Structure 1
Amino acid sequence: MKKSLSLILAGGLLTLMAACGESEATGEGDLSLEEILSNSASAAEDIESYSFVTEVQQTMGMDEESMSFDMSTEADVLVEPSIFHQKTTMDMGELGGEMSYESYFSEEHGLFMEDPLTGEWMKYPENLMEDILSMSEAQMSPSEQLVAFQDNINDLSLEEDENYYKLNLAGDGEEMKEIVEQIGNIAGDGMDEMFTQMMSELEIHDLVYEIFIDKETFHPAEATVFINMTIEMLGQSMTLEQNADIYFSSFNGLEEFEVPQEIIDNAEELSEEDAMGIFN
């Protein structure tokens, strides 16, 4: 289970890294890039709920061996208080076939994850909840993802059609690495050291990030992420290539929901050592 959780969180981490590296340009049409970002940030403040779907394809290689897996996620999110329900399916190919699991998070009750092998539920320890809450807000909040755009308006390009503004960032090398390092500022207390160490061992070969913003609502509609990079691990180089598509919907259209009481009552609480072990 730890191995599967490590891969799950690694995929989510890399998507977040790519989605937090943005940057400045002039735009087309009636609105400038700055005005589009400002309007989108203002619209995000009024979001009370939304859904998203992600489709991720990832290939990792070390020496002459490689491993590929696909991951799809469907999630419903309530913003205040923060609650989400997520269904994830992973296809590990020859390494393990397909497996699915669900997860719930709420500020009141914490983070619960289903073991895809046994169907039993696990709960993360309370003393890690502040970090988990900070990371969940950064990963899922449209307004948090816009912060990096607003702080790094240098290489961002803008196109538009009848329905959408398309913001695009493409680059490689140290410039992209510096932008990705911003993740340490939103990862939560105690997590920035891990990201700093990871960044020092990371070389970005190619990073492309596009997001489509609805012209009528200024809500994000779709995002695509491509990243190709090398990580030095234990004296060896690991290459990683990832494609991700993210689709947003149902803004302010969800009914309220809670973590099922049966899960709260029966979940086995992980020790801090076991919970943090997924990062090692």
Structure 2
Amino acid sequence: MKKWTTILTAGTLAFVLSACGQTAEPKEDPMTGEKEEVVVKSELTAGEVMEKANAASETQHSLHSDMEIKQKIQMGEDTHDVDSTISMDMILEPLAMHQTVNTQLEGEEVAVEQFITEDGFFMKDPQLGSWMKFEDDMYEQITGQIAGAQESPVDFSMYQEYADDFTFEQTNDEYVLTLKGSGEKFTTLMNDMMKQNMPAGADESLLEESDMKVEKVDMKITLDKKTFFTKDFDMDMIMVLEQQGEQAKITQNIKGTMTKINEIEEIKVPKEILESAVDMSDMMNQQ
């Protein structure tokens, strides 16, 4: 069941919404129930906005993202809380990434820092504090996987039958898409979405061999009204997984913000890391 944590996180982050036919209503204040005043109201439908957002995403070459992931995994009488924060700078071509992941599991905190550039794949040992360089083909594998995903865009027709489940709102500066759902059809949607967005190294047979039921999915995506870039998202999900007689109930919340879009021009591995990193391929050859 532990392998599902990685799959669910990656799949959720790739969850793309598409609603058709309705124009955005002024956003409602959750505290007062009153709708915000929109001076210049857009007449674009949700489907048209998502088409423009999809096109805008193809113009992105870099961004910064901050994510907060809270998970509760219940297996029988055992409950495990896993909380993570991720801060990442990313350039898409050529691929370069610098990210820090902080994870809290049962009172213990683990911080992992990584650089992925043309210089290689470097990771800081969370216990020793020293840097490691992985085999050279790791960079090529990761680059190929991301390129492959970009060549296979999400099929928006997949979401047409869910159009009536969306709320579509707008403010002066933003579009807001909200989805609230549960039941069998959202189980099918989530399963199809995860199949398209399996993370590197994940065991695809887990999806085939497991019984998954979505009890709840609430998601909100905010788009910039001028650029159609995604600004932030917030997703709550409850699902039950059963595999080989084991059952796990997973409650998950993911919040993310995207900033500095197309503002990051370079990500370099610091000189001191290049000079001090232990080459893992050399270590393997010595064993």
TM range (shorter): 0.7 to 0.9
Q: Report the equivalent of 1:252.
A: 262
CA distance in 1, matches of 2:199, 2:111: 28
CA distance in 1, matches of 2:148, 2:84: 20
Q: Report the equivalent of 2:84.
A: 71
SS at match of 2:111: strand
Instruction: Normalising by structure 2, report the TM-score.
Output: 0.76
Distance 1:179 1:111, change over 3 A: farther
SS at match of 1:243: strand
- Provide, for residues 247-274 of structure 1, a one-character-per-residue CA deviation record: whole Å limited to 9, x for no partner: 0000111231223355456244379xxx
CA distance in 1, matches of 2:122, 2:161: 40
CA distance in 1, matches of 2:74, 2:199: 30
CA distance in 2, matches of 1:18, 1:36: 21
Would the aligned equivalents of 1:123 and 1:269 in 2 still touch at CA under 8 Å? yes
**TM-fit CA distance, 1:170:** 2.8
Q: Report the equivalent of 1:121.
A: 131
Q: Report the equivalent of 1:177.
A: 187
More off after superposition, 44-53 vs 18-27: 18-27
Q: Report the equivalent of 1:54.
A: 67
**TM-fit CA distance, 1:201:** 2.8
**TM-fit CA distance, 1:125:** 4.4
Distance 1:164 1:118, change over 3 A: same
Distance 1:187 1:168, change over 3 A: same
Distance 1:135 1:60, change over 3 A: farther
Residue ranges of structure 2 left out of the alignment (5+ in a row):
25-42, 283-287
Would the aligned equivalents of 1:209 and 1:226 in 2 still touch at CA under 8 Å? yes
Distance 1:131 1:50, change over 3 A: same
Distance 1:221 1:150, change over 3 A: farther
Q: Is structure 2 residue 7 aligned with structure 1 residue 13?
A: yes
Would the aligned equivalents of 2:66 and 2:258 in 1 still touch at CA under 8 Å? yes
Distance 1:64 1:50, change over 3 A: same
CA distance in 1, matches of 2:186, 2:145: 21
Distance 1:242 1:45, change over 3 A: same
Alignment of 1:218-229 (within 5 A): 218-229=228-239
**TM-fit CA distance, 1:155:** 1.5
Q: Report the equivalent of 1:85.
A: 98
Higher normalized helix content (fraction of residues): 1
Instruction: Normalising by structure 1, report the TM-score.
Output: 0.78
- Provide, for residues 218-250 of structure 1, a one-character-per-residue CA deviation record: whole Å limited to 9, x for no partner: 100001111111122442211111101000000
Distance 1:129 1:197, change over 3 A: farther
SS at match of 1:242: strand
Distance 1:246 1:19, change over 3 A: same
- Provide, for residues 7-38 of structure 1, a one-character-per-residue CA deviation record: whole Å limited to 9, x for no partner: 7x854532332244444333224101221112
Q: Report the equivalent of 1:100.
A: 111
**TM-fit CA distance, 1:136:** 4.9
Would the aligned equivalents of 2:84 and 2:104 in 1 still touch at CA under 8 Å? yes
SS at match of 2:22: coil
Q: How many residues align?
A: 259
More off after superposition, 85-94 vs 17-26: 17-26
CA distance in 2, matches of 1:110, 1:197: 34
Distance 1:72 1:251, change over 3 A: same
| Equivalent of 2:20 in 5, 25, 42 | 25
Identity %: 24
Alignment of 1:77-226 (within 5 A): 77-94=90-107, 96=108, 98-106=109-117, 108-125=118-135, 132-133=142-143, 136=146, 147-149=154-156, 151-156=158-163, 157=166, 158-180=168-190, 181-187=192-198, 193-194=204-205, 196-197=207-208, 200-226=210-236
Would the aligned equivalents of 2:85 and 2:101 in 1 still touch at CA under 8 Å? yes
Would the aligned equivalents of 2:135 and 2:279 in 1 still touch at CA under 8 Å? no
CA distance in 2, matches of 1:149, 1:208: 19
**TM-fit CA distance, 1:150:** 5.6
SS at match of 1:38: helix
CA distance in 2, matches of 1:209, 1:101: 28
